[in-house]
Amino acid sequence: MRLAIAFAVLSAICPVVWATSEAPEGYGLDIPEWEVEITPGGDRVILNGTIEEVHEELLKLNPKWDEEFLADLPVEDDESSTLVKRTDFYGAKVVCGKWSSARSKPISNGIKYLRGLSGHPRAGPGPGKCARVSCSYQSGIWWCNDSKKSKTLNSFGSIADGASYVLGHCTNSGAGIEFPTVNGQVFHKTDWNVIVRGASC
């Protein structure tokens, strides 16, 4: 993809904006900042918020943004649809049912958006610092740093992999359930975690 994204939590570059009412219990919340191209190879702007909020702003700045940047993304979150190396969560500690539930479909859409981004997510020192990176239809994805040091991941796909792992282990579906729901948290061995839960958005 030609999309150049650099993800940074505000605590790494300027005063932190706190929104503790949205933070998962026991965690502080930072607002993510994204550096994005408006047109392929063109100027970049810095926008704040979740990927969905940033996407909405990009469409205002360039109504053709989707066709210029997202046309090559797979239609579904299909593990076999890409040869991109995935982050290994095999055997990771996962906790289900700790928070209010999110709807599975908006979480799958958030995963798709995150997989389509290039760049390296960064978080300031933790532990217990989170950024809500995706939120739509009362369903959110958080990325949290459990290390005392700043953390940089290989890609936004790493966060998507964590959310996908939670989907695979914590989804509540079956007879009598109209829309599958999910809520859970997975802990990566390198001191970071991903939370999928209900949210105000």
Would you say residue 16 lies in a domain? no
Closest CA to 35 of 43, 45, 27: 45
Would you say residue 66 lies in a domain? no
Q: Which amino acid is at 157?
A: G
pLDDT tens digit string along 60-97?
999 998 888 776 655 544 444 444 568 889 899 999 99
pLDDT tens digit string along 11-22?
232 222 323 336
Would you say residue 69 lies in a domain? no
* Mean pLDDT within 96-125: 89
Would you say residue 75 lies in a domain? no
Q: Give the pLDDT confidence score for residue 8 in this predicted structure.
A: 33
Would you say residue 26 lies in a domain? no
In contact, 114 and 51? CB cutoff 8 Å: yes
Whether the pLDDT of residue 164 is over 90: the answer is yes
Would you say residue 44 lies in a domain? no
**pLDDT grade, residue 184 (50/70/90)?**
very high
**pLDDT grade, residue 175 (50/70/90)?**
low
Of the two residues 145 and 32, the one the predictor is more confident about is 145
Would you say residue 9 lies in a domain? no
pTM listed for this prediction:
0.77
Rounded CA-CA distance 176/196 in Å is 22
Would you say residue 132 lies in a domain? yes
Of the two residues 118 and 76, the one the predictor is more confident about is 118
**How far, in whole angstroms, is CA 122 from its chain's centroid?**
12
Range of 96's domain?
A: 91-198
Total domains in the fold of the chain: 1
